[in-house]
Amino acid sequence: MPRPIRAVVNPAAISANINRIKELLGNTLVMSVVKANGYGHGLERIIDGLQYSDALAILEIEGAARLRSLGWNKPIVLLEGCFDQADLLKAIELRCDWVVHNQDQLNDLAGLEPQLFFHKPRIFLKLNTGMNRLGFQPESAAAAICWLDEFTLKHNWPTPVLMTHFANADEAEPRARLPFAQDQHQTLMRLKPVRWQSSLGNSAGSLNFPALAGDIARPGIAIYGATPGPNAAANYGLKPAMVFTSEIIAIQPIKKGDTVGYGSRWQAAENGRVAVVACGYADGYPRHAPDGTPTYVEGHVAPVVGRVSMDMMTIDVSHIPNANVGSTVELWGEHIPVDVVADRCGTIGYELLCAIAARVPFFKV
């Protein structure tokens, strides 16, 4: 028998989430973000669920090549652009579009003979409107926008897109997040040529401010059924695309005062039972998960007790009499949202989904 831990990916949930996001956005196009191997879900496993996307966005050229090999024929956008001219030529070969976020990238584009492009890419020019990562500063972007506008008109390339990234759209307090997002939106719209399209809506922006998402939204974590902020994914009608499970491999009776795990962090307040689960930090479950982090066993929530070790973790099943060796333990998924586990661990669902170790077997529904 193989070790019982597994991650199961459901591409139908991704399809449903994309359609739900489209309902929220109205006429806005949806460019689904599939970087980091589809947020840890695996491009090969999710490709069937991406069919309702208008385009896909990814980071590296190798990922774009994988998408083409899997049969994706719609647009692919390279979110950090091309890193050198060799990368640029490969992007053309793969019929990719890409982001330009600095003058060097614009110079690389200008240095190639446009008549040699058998694929005329759509260029996404990125503004830095407050995130302070990538993008042209608004006060110095006019020249770049003007040059790209003239260049694409002269050579009959697709209409460019002016894009930016919301910095605070996932904040818990709406009064804190909305004004900043509105300022970013206004900055972009002030600089956008009339004929250009706009792209602003990441997952948080698309869910919380659909009217500010622009012509092309870029949802990432939302298509996998998780959220970028404190609101439950189910509140938006999203479904989890991954269920991470293992099984109980041992039961230990404990007495009041007994301690569990390294460092004796947890002490039993009364007599009970502790279950040992075949999952540890070497599988991608956070070592720093505190006592009380929920799992789901035999129809009940069972809290983590004691420190997570490399290959095992322990949960309190004193209140679940039918929890025994072989019982399935949901670590996150349908009953325990990954966002809940992440919040208990002081991180975000993105990290947990991306951190599942290579030794964990993946399956597709």
CB 148 within 8 A of CB 113: no
Q: What angle do CA 146, 115, 196 make, to 5 degrees?
A: 30
**Reduced to 3 DSSP states, what percent helix, strand and coil does the chain have, rounded to the nearest 5?**
35, 20, 45
CB 127 within 8 A of CB 134: no
CB-side neighbour CA atoms (13 Å) of 336: 24
Q: Which residues of 278-314 are buried (b: 16+ CB within 10 A; e: fewer)?
A: bbbbebbbbeebbbebbbbbeeebbbbbbbbbebbbb
Identified catalytic residue from 35, 90, 120, 364: 35
User: How far, in Å, CA of 261 to CA of 248, rounded?
Assistant: 16
Helical pair 103-110 and 85-93, crossing angle rounded to 10 deg: 60
Residue whose pair of structure tokens reads 């669902």 in the numeric block: 349
Burial class from Cβ neighbours inside 10 Å (0-12, 13-18, 19+) for residue 8 reads: middle
Among this protein's residues, is 74 annotated catalytic?
A: no
Q: For strand 259-260 and strand 294-297, is the pairing parallel, antiparallel, or unpaired?
A: unpaired
Q: Which residues of 139-177 are buried (b: 16+ CB within 10 A; e: fewer)?
A: eebeebbeebbebbeeeebeebbbbbbbbbbbbeeeeeb
Among this protein's residues, is 296 annotated catalytic?
A: no
User: How far, in Å, CA of 233 to CA of 207, rounded?
Assistant: 10
201 Cβ contact partners less than 8 Å away, ≥ 6 residues apart = 25, 28, 166, 209, 210, 212, 213, 214, 217, 218, 219
Identified catalytic residue from 90, 262, 285, 364: 262
Sign of the C-alpha dihedral computed for residues 140, 152, 95 and 57 taken in this order: positive
The token pair that represents 21 in the structure block: 């996001």
Residues noted as catalytic: 35, 262
